[in-house]
Amino acid sequence: MQNYTLPQADPASVVLLQITDTHLFADDSGSLLGVATKDSFHAVLDAIAASACTFDAIVATGDISQDHTEASYQRFSEGIARWSQPCFWLPGNHDYQPSMQAVLPSPQIKPCHHVLAGDHWQIILLDSQVVGVPHGELSDAQLAMLDAALTQHPERHALVLLHHHPLPAGSTWLDQHQLHNAEAFWQVVGRHPQVRAILCGHIHQELDRIHQGVRVLATPSTCIQFQPDSHDFALDQKSPGWRLLTLHANGTLETRVQRLDGHCFTPHFDAAGY
């Protein structure tokens, strides 16, 4: 297991910036349902910079690329390079791991699955990708890695990251693409009471629920948004967004989603999918 020790700027807390589902292309004009994903990604980065928020690390929770190219991952890397904080990433259903790995080693992107964040927290990054299909599944090896990390550090509060949502979000078309072996995942989590939160991407919308006493969070994409509680594929008018999370020493977590102002980067609302 690759470990990383993340120093915290403030001894009282660790702050994370989550960016998810950037769906970037090699081509700067590449677009998803009418949204130029490099432009929306950069608008989000500009808004984060303008907000002058401080954070200790960036976490990117999958679907970084839409076209599988090494250049699309370079675009991501170039975008976040305006900051010096480390970035931890994991794959989503649209990612192509050979291209992801081809941009490493990187001074900023750390290929780690287990992060000791400050003195009180650990972050575990899981790979829920099943190559070629949109739904997720955790292999026995991933479940064992999660169990081992949590067993190794029972004294640390834990944040678990994966691309796919491990419970139904409320949209039929999207929930068929959730984590399929969610029960096995929740069994592992249930054995470790120090797990405080699960953080996902994939559903291109904000989610904040409690399941088995654990907070489950999902975050808007930096490009297109899906409408909550929809039986069929439907896009939302909301703007691209991101999330900040503050992990306190006592195990509590404060978080907020932020979005670009106004209705910008509007997609083709009549699209039936992609």
Residues at the annotated binding site for AMP? 23, 63, 93-94, 204
- If binding is defined by CB under 6 A, does position 141 make contact with ligand CMP? no
Q: Which of 160, 171, 166, 147 is nearest to 225 (CA)?
A: 171
Residue ranges binding Fe ion (CB under 5 A): 21, 63
Among positions 40, 61, 77, 93, the unique one binding ligand CMP when judged by CB under 6 A: 93
CB of 61 or CB of 122, closer to ligand CMP: 61
* Residue 180 touches which of Fe ion, ligand CMP, none (Cβ within 5-8 Å per kind): none
d(CA 118, CA 8): 5
How many CA atoms does the CB half-sphere of 184 hold within 13 Å?
15
d(CA 248, CA 259): 24
- If binding is defined by CB under 6 A, does position 94 make contact with ligand CMP? yes
Q: Least separation, in Å, of the C-beta of 48 and ligand CMP? A: 21
Q: Which residue is nearest to Fe ion (CB)?
A: 63
Q: Least separation, in Å, of the C-beta of 237 and ligand CMP? A: 18
- Does an H or E element contain 20, and which? none
d(CA 256, CA 271): 29
CB of 178 or CB of 181, closer to ligand CMP: 178
- If binding is defined by CB under 6 A, does position 134 make contact with ligand CMP? yes
Number of residues that bind ligand CMP (CB under 6 A): 13
* Residue 173 touches which of Fe ion, ligand CMP, none (Cβ within 5-8 Å per kind): ligand CMP
Q: Which of 125, 122, 137 is nearest to 87 (CA)?
A: 125
What is the three-class DSSP state of 124?
strand
According to DSSP, residue 189 is labeled H
CB of 119 or CB of 232, closer to ligand CMP: 232
Q: Least separation, in Å, of the C-beta of 272 and ligand CMP? A: 5
Among positions 113, 177, 196, 238, the unique one binding ligand CMP when judged by CB under 6 A: 177
DSSP 76-131: HHHHHTTS-S-EEE---TT--HHHHHHT-S-SSEE--SEEEETTTEEEEE---B-T
Residues 6+ apart with CB under 8 A from 43: 240, 260, 264, 265
CB of 173 or CB of 191, closer to ligand CMP: 173
Name the residues that contact ligand CMP, by CB under 6 A: 21, 63, 93-94, 134, 173-174, 177, 202, 233, 272-274
